[in-house]
């Protein structure tokens, strides 16, 4: 039984879950040539990758499969990003944001997708990379005169370092200068509220509205 109404979107999802490179990349090409919404394509890729990740957590799949799925996601994004840059998805005020995976987390995919979507929405984006210490993130936010700090974490073990960013902002009398938004597989709305983050971003598409709402 099909999960999605659009056949091409279904093929992308099924291919991601099965980690079938040719099927996914061919379906992405079809989706782009047919003019399907780029954010919908990104979202279904993310959903398929999440299934693989969830299976890995349950020990149904193993690390090599997770790596292959992540590599496939990156290959698909290489096709999507040029089209994404052509999109005008600006719906409100834009600003400058620094993005980082916090200390202890080296997963780039979610942050890379968010950066591409935010650029398409008119944000100025400075991607600091992964495994970034709290002090370095704050120093870069100051240097770039950012309005927002975006923190991504896929691993629960790295979450204390996200809290450290907010604590250091307070200690340095900078908490009112930056809005802090968190997202990633390890992050929940409840955690954001607990540590005092300004907002939670469930995924790249919704994050645009969340950030613009903060402004």
Does residue 91 register a pLDDT over 60?
Answer: no
Structure-token pair, residue 192: 């954001």
Instruction: Tell me where in the chain the CATH 3.40.50.280 domain(s) lie.
Output: 96-214
Tell me the CATH architecture of domain 96-214: 3-Layer(aba) Sandwich (3.40)
Count CB-CB contacts under 10 A for residue 92: 12
Q: What is the pTM of this model?
A: 0.74
Does residue 205 register a pLDDT over 90?
Answer: no
Q: What is the pLDDT of residues 137-194, one digit of tens each?
A: 999 999 999 999 999 988 788 889 999 999 999 999 999 999 999 998 889 999 999 9
Does residue 204 register a pLDDT over 80?
Answer: no
Instruction: Tell me where in the chain the CATH 1.10.1240.10 domain(s) lie.
Output: 7-86
CA angle 66, 125, 54 (to 5 degrees): 20
Q: What is the pLDDT of residues 68-78, one digit of tens each?
A: 988 898 899 88
Confidence band for 198, pLDDT divided at 50, 70 and 90? very high
Long-range CB pairs of 79-83, under 8 A, 24+ apart, other chains included = 79/25, 79/28, 79/29, 79/32, 80/28, 80/32, 80/38, 80/41, 80/42, 80/116, 81/116, 83/32, 83/38
Q: What is the pLDDT of residues 9-32, one digit of tens each?
A: 999 999 999 999 999 999 999 999
First to last CA, the chain: 42
CATH number of 7-86: 1.10.1240.10
Confidence band for 98, pLDDT divided at 50, 70 and 90? very high
Looking at residue 12, what DSSP letter applies? H
Q: What is the pLDDT of residue 200?
A: 94
Alpha helices in the chain (DSSP H): 7-18, 21-33, 38-57, 63-86, 109-120, 134-143, 159-171, 189-195, 204-214
Q: What is the pLDDT of residues 27-65, one digit of tens each?
A: 999 999 999 988 889 889 988 988 888 888 789 998 889
């Amino acid at each position: 039984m099909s999960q999605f109404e659009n056949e091409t979107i279904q093929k992308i999802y099924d291919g991601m879950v099965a980690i079938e490179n040719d099927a996914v990349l061919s379906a992405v090409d079809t989706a782009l040539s047919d003019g399907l919404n780029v954010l919908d394509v990104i979202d279904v890729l993310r959903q398929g990758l999440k299934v693989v990740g969830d299976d890995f957590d349950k020990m149904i799949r193993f690390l090599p499969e997770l790596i292959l799925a992540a590599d496939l996601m990156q290959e698909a994004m290489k096709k999507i990003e040029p089209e994404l840059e052509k999109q005008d998805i600006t719906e409100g005020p834009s600003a400058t944001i620094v993005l980082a995976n916090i200390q202890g987390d080296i997963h780039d995919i979610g942050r890379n997708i968010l950066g591409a979507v935010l650029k398409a929405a008119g944000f100025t984006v400075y991607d600091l990379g992964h495994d970034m210490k709290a002090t370095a993130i704050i120093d870069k936010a100051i240097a770039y005169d950012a309005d927002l700090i975006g923190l991504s974490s896929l691993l629960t073990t790295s979450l204390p370092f996200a809290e450290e960013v907010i604590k250091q902002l307070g200690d340095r009398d900078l908490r009112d200068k930056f809005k802090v938004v968190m997202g990633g597989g390890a992050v929940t709305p409840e955690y954001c509220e607990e540590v005092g983050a300004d907002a939670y971003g469930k995924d790249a598409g919704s994050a645009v509205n969340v950030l613009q709402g903060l402004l």
